[in-house]
Structure 1
Amino acid sequence: MKKPLVMVGGPTACGKTAMSIELAKRINGEVISGDSMQIYRYMDIGTAKVTEEEKQGIPHYLVDELNPDEEYNVMIFQQKAKNYMNEIWAKGKVPIIVGGTGFYMNALLNDTDFTETENDTSFREECYKQAQSEGAEVLFERLKKIDPEYAQTIHANNVKRVARALEYHFLTGEKFSQHNAEQKEKESPYQAAVIILTMEREKLYQRINHRVDLMMEQGLLAEVKDLLEKGYSSDLVSMQGLGYKEFMPYFRGECSLDDAVEQLKKGTRHFAKRQLTWFRRQIDGLWVDLSKADFDLAMTDVMEYLKERKILEE
């Protein structure tokens, strides 16, 4: 019999944290972060990391487990998440994966096999070096020629994923888009329910702008400065994350603080748009529009869906 798994995905600032906490309370669940940034220590404000108060006593995993200079990728996420899922099931509880990194969540849901390429990292390292010396666009142009379909799904500046797709083609001769399509056809090994939160675009963008203003009030600038003073290079993958990279030009004296904040708002809005596009194309599940229904009504729909998916007893 398949074990239960609940996923809550969607764009940044759409209410995933609140939904996951309420779900965990109602279905006896524990939360595993499906976010590529909340795993890092010292990066709290910029990642909108769940606070102790917000957790309301619900255990959370894959939060604050690595330093910003430690490697984290989809394979590491998949391995760690599976270990925690087994621990949660052993307690008779339901694991709830929550996050906006759809690529990670999909890899877990479909149990994507990365073993054939996980040991040879030399090509990937060469890609990183090329991006650093010649710019991310050069790598992205290579990908567009090899796999235009996959290139449409990611941003040119996402060097990690561009390099991953180029590496996959180099090692296997196959397109990464083809690999993803094949993996998507696989039946999930879990009794899974996927909830994808969405929101009317204008309202979502307002929430994003307000969240960035709040982050600044909470001390985001000091957080970024502290990371740099701790010796974490601006070239690190973690420091290239939203909420951090936008302030590097400010600290180098290349732009004003207002410009950096505006860049963060703009970048986050674009990121949310790409997240929604990705979820629409890649994952099937219950879509919940929180701009059309209040939270209690949305929760009623979600609980009905969990019964349909046999996560809950009728």
Structure 2
Amino acid sequence: MDKEKLVVIVGPTAVGKSEAGIQLASHFNGEIISGDSMQIYKGLDIGTAKVSKEEQKGITHHLIDELEPSESYSAASFQHDAAKLITDIHRKNKLPLVVGGTGFYIRSLTRGLDFHESPSDPAFRQEMEAFAEHHGANALHERLEQVDPVSASSIHPNNIKKVVRALEINHLTGQNRKEFANQERNESPYHLVMVGLTMDRTPLYKRINLRVDKMVENGIIREAKWLYDNYSEKCQAAQAIGYKEFFPYFKGEYTKEDAILLLKKNTRRYAKRQLTWFHNKEKVEWFDITQGNKNKKINEMISFVEGKIY
């Protein structure tokens, strides 16, 4: 049986993935699945650089505005939802394109990570939750660092639910969360074409700084305040870059200008991590738009994809 065709467009934040995805979807009669872990939340529009209905140019977009900020979403959830969408899109004789920069979400899909269900121990879980309530989130996180430093390094102390889950898996299996949670295939379950947009660091960082200034102009602080006022700081959506940087400002711990500078710095660091991830973890055909030849590069991208899927 032939594998389902899938085009994935990756790259660092602010490089122009969304625009490229829309152009490719238009050319190939495709539909877009968001590969951004935060665009699935309603109300988080400016900080996640969500494409507006006008910008979508009639291209159907999926996994955008699906959840309330209080809800949790995971790589396993994304894998399940995106796989179903890919099949549905093919049934309409269209081409599915995943566009986004959340590396582990995309890898969970393109490599068919096997997310196992581990046995549970409700009594142990309740014990850990009570410990956190009595001693604090940091103390609980320190317990995880002692038994599973690998998981502890990737889980924020405030994400008590994930900390408890990692402790529970270690308690029951003796393994760290990632060892137990996933196994990846040597090859993709899809007829996969991965393309990426990239550019030199200096102009990319300049674009990021300008983008943050534009977000401030468009009302990101108001959007962050809505999230801060209406939802817990511990919820997954509140961990998003673009929002958490303003919470200390709302508490009077530092100035608005400090928050904006921190947002720029965190976004630049995130872009660097994205580039490192996709260069090290994925086989991507890169298209460098440093010289401002974006339309030319997107046309080259279209030609490359045509050669791989037809």
TM-score, normalised to structure 1's length? 0.85
CA distance 1:120–1:113, change in 2 (3 Å): farther
1:220 CA drift (Å): 0.8
> Is the CA contact (8 Å cut-off) linking 1:212 and 1:265 kept in structure 2?
yes
1:235 alignment partner in structure 2: 234
SS at match of 1:49: coil
The 2-side partners of 1:226 and 1:73 are apart by 23
Letter of the 1:271 partner, please give it.
Y
1:32 CA drift (Å): 0.4
> Is the CA contact (8 Å cut-off) linking 1:33 and 1:60 kept in structure 2?
yes
1:177 CA drift (Å): 6.2
2:225 alignment partner in structure 1: 225
The 2-side partners of 1:26 and 1:104 are apart by 25
1:135 alignment partner in structure 2: 138
The 2-side partners of 1:268 and 1:117 are apart by 34
Q: Which runs of 5+ in 2 are unaligned?
A: none
**Is 1:204 the counterpart of 2:204 in the alignment?**
yes
SS at match of 1:194: strand
1:186 CA drift (Å): 2.2
Total equivalences in the alignment: 306
Q: What does 1:298-309 correspond to in 2, within 5 Å?
A: 298-309=297-308
> Is the CA contact (8 Å cut-off) linking 1:143 and 1:162 kept in structure 2?
no
The 2-side partners of 1:3 and 1:9 are apart by 19
1:107 alignment partner in structure 2: 108
> Is the CA contact (8 Å cut-off) linking 1:143 and 1:166 kept in structure 2?
no
Question: How far does the alpha carbon of each residue in 1:126-177 deviate from its partner, in whole angstroms, 9 at most, with x for none?
Answer: 58985992439x84895597466x888x586795998476666555444566
> Is the CA contact (8 Å cut-off) linking 2:144 and 2:166 kept in structure 1?
no
1:13 alignment partner in structure 2: 14
1:25 alignment partner in structure 2: 26
> Is the CA contact (8 Å cut-off) linking 1:8 and 1:16 kept in structure 2?
yes
2:215 alignment partner in structure 1: 215
CA distance 1:283–1:54, change in 2 (3 Å): same
1:225 CA drift (Å): 1.8
The 1-side partners of 2:195 and 2:168 are apart by 31
Letter of the 2:239 partner, please give it.
Q
2:38 alignment partner in structure 1: 37
SS at match of 1:116: coil
> Is the CA contact (8 Å cut-off) linking 1:69 and 1:236 kept in structure 2?
yes
The 1-side partners of 2:112 and 2:130 are apart by 27
1:274 alignment partner in structure 2: 273
> Is the CA contact (8 Å cut-off) linking 2:115 and 2:183 kept in structure 1?
no
The 2-side partners of 1:283 and 1:124 are apart by 36
The 1-side partners of 2:123 and 2:85 are apart by 30
SS at match of 1:117: coil
SS at match of 1:14: coil
Question: How far does the alpha carbon of each residue in 1:271-305 deviate from its partner, in whole angstroms, 9 at most, with x for none?
Answer: 11111111111111211222146123212332232
1:91 CA drift (Å): 0.4
Letter of the 1:133 partner, please give it.
G
CA distance 1:103–1:128, change in 2 (3 Å): farther
Q: What does 1:11-90 correspond to in 2, within 5 Å?
A: 11-90=12-91
When the two chains are superposed, the root-mean-square deviation of aligned CA atoms in Å is 3.2
SS at match of 2:9: strand
The 2-side partners of 1:5 and 1:170 are apart by 39
1:81 CA drift (Å): 1.1
1:83 CA drift (Å): 1.8
1:121 CA drift (Å): 8.6
The 1-side partners of 2:161 and 2:8 are apart by 22
TM-score, normalised to structure 2's length? 0.86
The 2-side partners of 1:128 and 1:108 are apart by 35
CA distance 1:22–1:99, change in 2 (3 Å): same
Q: What does 1:239-250 correspond to in 2, within 5 Å?
A: 239-250=238-249
Question: How far does the alpha carbon of each residue in 1:47-79 deviate from its partner, in whole angstroms, 9 at most, with x for none?
Answer: 111111110000000000100001111111111
Letter of the 2:83 partner, please give it.
K
Letter of the 2:36 partner, please give it.
D
Calculate percent identity across the aligned residue pairs. Answer: 42
1:297 alignment partner in structure 2: 296
Q: Which runs of 5+ in 1 are unaligned?
A: none
> Is the CA contact (8 Å cut-off) linking 2:29 and 2:95 kept in structure 1?
yes
> Is the CA contact (8 Å cut-off) linking 1:147 and 1:176 kept in structure 2?
no
1:94 alignment partner in structure 2: 95
